[in-house]
């Protein structure tokens, strides 16, 4: 499944276009490397997702399922 579609399907973001923009701006990474919106994710992948006020480290555990490993809140 495409990364941008996955992020929208699991409701990390509301719309796929927002997920696409996040990927394009380097806010979604795996092993410290930014991923493109069309990157094919697999079960077991660990992703770092930078949101407005926090960063999530999630593990892909199914097509529409994930597990939050770590949540870091950034101070403004």
Contact call for residues 61 and 69 (beta carbons, < 8 A) = no
Q: What is the DSSP-derived secondary structure letter of residue 29?
A: E
Contact 8, 14 (CB under 8 A): yes
How many domains are there within the chain?
A: 1
Q: Which two tokens stand for residue 13?
A: 């973001």
Q: Which domain holds residue 60?
A: 3-73
Q: What is the CATH number of the domain that holds 36?
A: 3.10.290.10
Express as a percent the part of the chain with pLDDT over 90.
Answer: 76
In angstroms, what CA-CA distances link 44 with 60, 66, 76?
5, 9, 32
Q: Is the pLDDT of residue 76 over 70?
A: no
Predicted model pTM:
0.87
Contact status, residue 24 vs residue 39, Cβ threshold 8 Å = no
């Amino acid at each position: 499944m495409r990364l941008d579609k996955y992020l929208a399907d699991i409701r990390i973001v509301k719309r796929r276009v927002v997920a696409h923009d996040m990927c394009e701006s380097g806010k979604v990474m795996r092993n410290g490397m930014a991923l493109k919106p069309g990157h094919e994710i697999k079960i077991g992948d660990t992703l770092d997702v930078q949101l407005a006020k926090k960063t999530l480290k999630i593990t892909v555990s199914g097509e529409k399922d994930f597990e939050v490993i770590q949540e870091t809140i950034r101070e403004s």
